[in-house]
Every structure is written in structure tokens, then in C-alpha cells.
Amino acid sequence: MGLFDNIGTPPSPAAAPQQSGNRTVDVTFAKLPDNFAEFAALPQAQLATPFDTAALTVLALCFYPQDKDACIQMLGLLKGPQQLSAYEQQFLRDRFASADYVPRSYFTGAVPANDYKPSQPYTVRVSENPYSYQEQGYAKLYLQSGGADSPRAVTLRLAKDGKWYLWEQFLLAGIRQPESSNPWA
């Protein structure tokens, strides 16, 4: 069974941000999408909260190893009016050349010991802190990788259409190798 196999009931949308500065939201996907059309049909794809957009960024990045074009199309949806640049596309190529497991590490239960196989239902834990909303119209949220010691940031921007779009992400930095490929584990 692969990471994107059908597993059940429809996902539930995350709560809207209240800008409290210390909240964590679990965004859960009972079934992961198999293609762009299913991705765009997810309730979270309404981009109503920065938490939803941050979690969908993980989902989109997970597609790169199996379908680079679908990943880029998904990231395009998340970026809205600011399209993915040639630099960002090259960055993706570089990062996925040697570590295709990094995006999976943001799902709950995905750790080096189980080769970053996530628990089901697929859940991405997204957190804010007291500094997440310092700049009006932007949210800087944090996701914890099962292979890193500190959380990684995703910045989202609120557009005049009321949607939260992906502005920048720092999710692809190196993490601990899966145990099966680590000669020192």
C-alpha cells in the first residue's frame, strides 16, 4: 500500500485562525489525493485558513517523487497569484535528488525508525507562536518533522479574495536519514 492509496472517509477542515499566538491545529486527511483534481477538491483547498494551506503544502510536496508536474500544479494552486518561479522549481529538483522522504516526515508518526511511513489518518500538525502574525496579512506557521529537532516555517499571505496563499516554505531542509538507508543507525 503506497502513501497515496485511498483509505476512507473525507477529510475534516481545520479551524480558522484566531491569532492567539499559541495554537496548534491538526489538519487531517482521511484519504490522500491521487491526482491534482482530487487535491483541488479537498475541503482544505478552499485555502480558508493559513493552517489548511500549510498542511496542503506538505501534501503537494509529497507528490514530487511520483509526479513532478502534478506537484508543481498543486503548488501553483497554493501560491495563487504568485506563481512558482524557475528558481523554486530548480530548488525542488535539487532537494528531491537525494531525499524524497523529507515531505512525508511532516505527517504524524513518520520518523526515521519506520522510514517515514506516516500514521493513518494522515495528519499534519501546524502551530503558531506569539510572533506568527507580526506582519499584517501574513502568517508564519511551523510544522514539526519527525526527523528534525526544531520545527520548520511556512509563510502564508492573505489575499484580497480572502484566501491564504503559500508565500514561502522552508520544509525541505535536511533531516535525519531513514533508518533503512542510514549505515550508522
> In this predicted model, what pLDDT tens digit does every residue of 46-66 receive, in sequence order?
999 999 999 999 999 999 999
Residue type, 159: A
pLDDT at 181: 81
pLDDT at residue 48, as a whole number: 97
List 107's β-bridge partners, or say none: 124
Give the residues of the chain that fall short of pLDDT 70: 1-20, 185
What local confidence, expressed as pLDDT, does residue 19 receive?
A: 53
Q: Which three cell numbers stand for residue 145?
A: 518533522
pTM of the model: 0.86
Give residue 146's pLDDT. 96
What local confidence, expressed as pLDDT, does residue 156 receive? 98
Is 64 in a helix, a strand, or coil? coil
Alpha carbon distance 165, 57 (integer Å): 10
Name 27's bridge partners: 124
Backbone angles phi, psi at 130, to 5 degrees: -60, -15
Give the list of residues 6+ apart from residue 38 with CB closer than 8 angstroms, or none: none
Whole-angstrom Cα distance, residue 176 to residue 102?
Answer: 9
Residue 98 pLDDT: 79
Q: Where are the alpha helices (DSSP H) in the chain?
A: 36-41, 50-63, 68-79, 86-96
The DSSP letter of residue 107 is B
Which triple of cell numbers denotes residue 46? 478552499
**Whole-angstrom distance, CA of residue 144 vs CA of residue 129:** 13
C-alpha to C-alpha distance for 24 and 129, rounded to whole angstroms: 9
